[in-house]
Structure 1
Amino acid sequence: MDDTPYQLPSTLPTLRAKAAEAGFTLSCEDRTGGLLSALAATRPAGRILELGTGAGEGAAWLLSGMDGGSRLTTVELDAALQSIAREQLGSDPRVTFVAGDGGTWLEDFDGPPFDLVFADTWPGKFTHLDRALELVAPGGTYLIDDLLPQPGWPQDHQASVTRLLAELDAREDFRCVRLAWASGLLMAVRTA
């Protein structure tokens, strides 16, 4: 069985080309994107948070699965990089772009929780983890990727991943499943 998604967001080719022009190589992997789209589709009128817009490929996948009543907030530190996503996806009224530090945004956010949180950057994953998890609604899903060794990882990064996985596995308010698939995923569902 081929696990490559066959329903690709229509904006994906342009986002990929623009990301390549900008020298950005850390965009969402297709299998992870397919999972994001499917998870977004399980949340009618859902509230979705993406930490780490990048050039917008993850956001495109999320939007492709969302219904008309769902809303996506996507946060990115690099405003110039996020401008690629804004240019291609900004006309969609379901998405709100936030340019700024994800950790600061997590600290300052005082709105309602999210049904799906995709942490694709350090804040919400390796930093500010507890705060990101606080923002997951009961029954909501928290997803992280890039947990399998990647080219260019700093020498001590594997130890950070190991600590993160142990911390998530030990939580009693989330049920976790590790997926040694795509770039390495962990999905956690809030039970309390």
Structure 2
Amino acid sequence: MTEEINQPIPKSYSDIVRETEKSGFTMASDMLACSLLRTLAASKPNGKFLELGTGTGLSTSWILDGMDKQSSLISFDFDEKFLAIAETHLGNDSRLNLVLSDGEDWINQNAGLKFDYIFADTWHGKYLMLDEVLDMLNIGGLYIVDDMLPQPNWPEGHNEKAINFIKYLESREDLTLTKMNWATGIIVKVKK
């Protein structure tokens, strides 16, 4: 067995990669992590999905590729330039609602919503407002984070934040979790 992805990649993925490289966006999700996101998305038929931190839409394309036709995905980002790339390549998918918003504002304005799958790929919902986002997760819902292994773009002191984040997740009795020392470091949690 190898880590090679031997299934088709999402149709828009290569175009988004090209535009992402031109744009200067440096925080794109790892392709192996994206493959896992797609697989986990397929486990939630008729699901309500949330992605915190669209970026340019690379991981968004994989989540959409795993979702069925009855599912819906809300994905937000605060950077209009990068969100525009996602809009160009994914905006015609009726299952997707791309939102230009600050994380704190979006979470506060949508606190009553519930989701079956949350991919937290930004500070809000991961290092900030974590409890508020976990309250949005349905019983049996998946909460997924990547970039838990040291990354070259981490600011000084971020490693300690990541360690404290993991310890906090492990202390919560309402979550079952698995840590994977694979790809960029992934944690998958299910709400009990």
TM-score tier by shorter-chain length is over 0.9
Are 2:179 and 1:178 aligned? Answer: yes
Q: Over residues 66-120 of structure 1, what are the superposed CA-to-partner deviations in whole Å (9 max), with x where a residue is unaligned?
A: 0000000001010111000000000000000110111211111044310000000
Residue of structure 2 equivalent to 1:131? 132
Amino acid at match of 2:187: L
Structure 1: which 5+ residue stretches go unaligned? none
Amino acid at match of 1:187: V
Separation in 1 of the partners of 2:63 and 2:15? 16
Are 2:117 and 1:116 aligned? Answer: yes
Is the CA contact 1:51–1:121 (under 8 Å) kept in the aligned structure 2? yes
1:4-153 equivalent positions in 2, closer than 5 A = 4-6=4-6, 7-153=8-154
Separation in 1 of the partners of 2:71 and 2:29? 21
Percent of paired sites with the same residue:
37
Separation in 2 of the partners of 1:123 and 1:151? 20
Separation in 2 of the partners of 1:18 and 1:155? 29
Is the CA contact 1:4–1:30 (under 8 Å) kept in the aligned structure 2? no
Separation in 2 of the partners of 1:60 and 1:174? 27
Separation in 2 of the partners of 1:172 and 1:19? 39
Is the CA contact 2:142–2:189 (under 8 Å) kept in the aligned structure 1? yes
Separation in 2 of the partners of 1:64 and 1:76? 20
Superposition deviation, residue 28 in structure 1: 1.4
- Paired residue total: 191
**The 10-residue stretch of structure 1 (12-21 or 105-114) with the greater mean CA deviation from structure 2:** 105-114
What TM-score results when the alignment is normalised by the length of structure 2? 0.97
Q: CA RMSD in A?
A: 0.9
Separation in 2 of the partners of 1:14 and 1:168? 36
Separation in 2 of the partners of 1:111 and 1:92? 25
Separation in 2 of the partners of 1:70 and 1:190? 19
**The 10-residue stretch of structure 1 (41-50 or 108-117) with the greater mean CA deviation from structure 2:** 108-117
